[in-house]
Structure formats: C-alpha cells, structure tokens
Amino acid sequence: MKEIITKARENSKKRNFNQSFDLIINLKDVESIDFFIEMKHPVKENKICAFVGSELYDDAKKYCHEAIHSDDFAKQDVKKLAKEYDLFIGQANIMPLIASTFGRVLGRLGKMPSPKAGSIVPPNTNLKNVIERLSKTVRIRTAGGSVIRTIVGKEDMDDSKIEENINWILDQLMHHLPNGKENIKSIILKTTMGKGVKWQI
C-alpha cells in the first residue's frame, strides 16, 4: 500500500492547495452499497446540526455546531441548512415532525438522521459521545453505478495514516459485499488533480 500512495504522490503536480487523496472502488455484481464508518484518521471534522426537543436542547447547543428546537422547526431555511451541515441528528421521539419538516430536502440529499449512522438518538442520550463519534464518521456508498468514491487523506497527512484509512475502509467494505473481494473489480487512488494508481486485491 505504501508504494501505491508514493506513486499517487509522484503522479500529482504540486498545486497551490492541499489536495485530497481520493479512493475509487469499482465493484462488480453489486447493485448498491451504503454504510457508515468512523474513520481511523478523520480527514475533516463533520459539521453537525441537531433537531431536538427540550430534553436535549441544552446539550445540543453545547456540543453541536447548531441546535434547532422543535418549536422553531417551521422557521428554518432547509436548503441553507443542508448546504451548511454534513450530518444531522434527530431526537427519536420527534422524528415524525423532523421528517415532515425537513425530509423532502434532506432525504433527497441523503442527509436525514438515520439509524444506520446512529444519528437518531433517544431523549436521554449522552450527546457528547454521539457527537465525538459522528464528527469522525463518513458514509461509504455507491454513486453513479457500482462505484464508491471517498476521501481518505490530504497531501499534508502522513502516508501511514492514509494507509490506515484505506485499509480500514476496505476491511469494513468486505463485510458488506456478498462475495468479498470477488465483488471488487479494481481500486484507484489519486490526488484531486493527479493521475490515478490502479490495483486489484
């Protein structure tokens, strides 16, 4: 893996910004994949907004980037929220209200609070722990056919951390593929503007 990361660096000209390392996984004989994982070495911290009632409002204000009380749902610009935040937490006992208010926009974008992500929480939850986990969580899913694309690092990250992220994602992916590595056609690692390095496992 270290050789692949080194080659991806060599295939990339120096740019005036900190390029991402993009992992592209081409699948075969798989219709769709969609799961969430907590990254070993987060590339960025997710911005999180919470939709809550009175039970969690104080903690949500303390630990989230934004907390919106159920009394204020109707006042919100949903499209603006969707653009500004990466993940949304929903208090479980008011999820019907959350869905009716925000579902049309957030659902289409795949940003609705979700049991898969662990972002639907009971009103007595320890929100601090939830936020710590979700801030490092990424969604791994197919898009545009049987292709997974996700960011695994930045140019200024150590190769060892990028390698750990790649291996962790591939390891978790295996648990979601019906035939394991037989469902992986090829894998490509590239920087944002660089040429890809292709390999198979």
145 or 11, greater pLDDT: 11
pLDDT per residue over 42-53, tens digit each? 999 999 999 999
Q: Among 134, 163, 180, where does a domain finish?
A: 134
Whether 138 has a pLDDT exceeding 90, the answer reads yes
Q: Among 134, 165, 182, where does a domain finish?
A: 134
Collect all residues with Cβ–Cβ distance below 8 Å to 189 and sequence separation of at least 6. Answer: 4, 5, 8, 21, 22, 23, 24, 152, 166, 196, 197
Q: DSSP for 70-106?
A: GGGGGG--HHHHHHH-SEEEEEGGGHHHHHHHHHHHH
pLDDT per residue over 163-192, tens digit each? 999 999 999 999 999 999 999 999 999 999
111 and 169: one domain? no
pLDDT per residue over 78-117, tens digit each? 999 999 999 999 999 999 999 999 999 999 999 999 999 9
128 and 72: one domain? yes
32 and 17: one domain? yes
Q: Band of the pLDDT at 70, cuts 50, 70, 90?
A: very high
130 and 68: one domain? yes
The mean per-residue pLDDT over the stretch 125-152 comes to: 93
Q: Count of domains in the chain?
A: 2
3-state SS class at 199: strand
Q: Is the dihedral of CA 99, 125, 58, 114 positive or negative?
A: negative
Whether 14 has a pLDDT exceeding 90, the answer reads no
Average pLDDT, the chain: 95
Whether 144 has a pLDDT exceeding 80, the answer reads no
CATH number of the domain within which 106 lies: 3.40.50.790
Q: Which residue range forms the structural domain that includes residue 8?
A: 2-42+138-199
